[in-house]
Amino acid sequence: MNEKNTEDFAKRCILGRRMLERGVGFVQIWSGAGGPSKNWDNHANIHPELPYMTRQVDKPIAG
């Protein structure tokens, strides 16, 4: 969460966890507004775009 490229998704993960801890039955955490294609559907240009997208979510998911 202390890194600029992971901050947004990390905050969403923390909020989702807090909601679950308070009894919310279902939480969906959205990621996908980054990268040149602005979503995860980057099949046409996957090699340059996928690493950018995964850097945003890898550490927050692992945390």
Burial class (CB in 10 A: 0-12, 13-18, 19+), 44: exposed
Average pLDDT over residues 31-38: 66
Q: What share of the chain is helix, strand, coil (3-state, %, to 5)?
A: 60, 0, 40
Average pLDDT over residues 19-32: 93
Tens of pLDDT, residues 2-18: 888 899 899 999 999 99
Its pTM stands at 0.77
Residues in the chain: 63
